[in-house]
Amino acid sequence: MPVNVITAPQVADRVTALSLCAMNHTVAQELTLKDGDVYSTLRPVEQIAVLGHDETQPWVIATIHGRRRGSTAMSNAAAAVRDVLTSTWHLDPNEIWVQWVLT
């Protein structure tokens, strides 16, 4: 079961729920799973972040925990997560960090 942990600034609860549902659906499609086989959660962060010595906006970070599922499927699932997060937080895709953690 892939588990997506999103660290990002809080958005409206309903937007967050819809975004996580969309993420579960797209990841499930890419990995040929059922929507109920993918779990996602948001860890809201404070509005303070530092890059080097400079204050900056908090990054949107997605960590996908799961077993190896083939490089194409994993890459497509990560891209799908990035797409959902880009839409939800209105960011450039390059401003979102997505990473698989093999478990």
Amino acid letter for position 35: D
pLDDT at 15: 86
Q: How far is CA 51 from CA 7, 26, 48, in A?
A: 16, 31, 10
Nearest-Å Rg of the Cα atoms of the chain is 14
Q: Is 98 exposed, middle or buried (0-12, 13-18, 19+ CB in 10 A)?
A: buried
Q: Which CATH superfamily is domain 3-102 in?
A: Macrophage Migration Inhibitory Factor (3.30.429.10)
Residues 6+ apart with CB under 8 A from 75: none
pTM for this model (two decimals): 0.87
**pLDDT tens for the 103 residues of the chain, in order:** 899 999 998 888 888 899 999 999 999 999 999 999 999 999 998 778 888 999 988 889 999 999 999 999 999 999 999 999 999 999 989 889 999 999 9
pLDDT at 100: 94
Residue among 70, 71, 85 at smallest CA distance from 4: 85
pLDDT at 12: 81
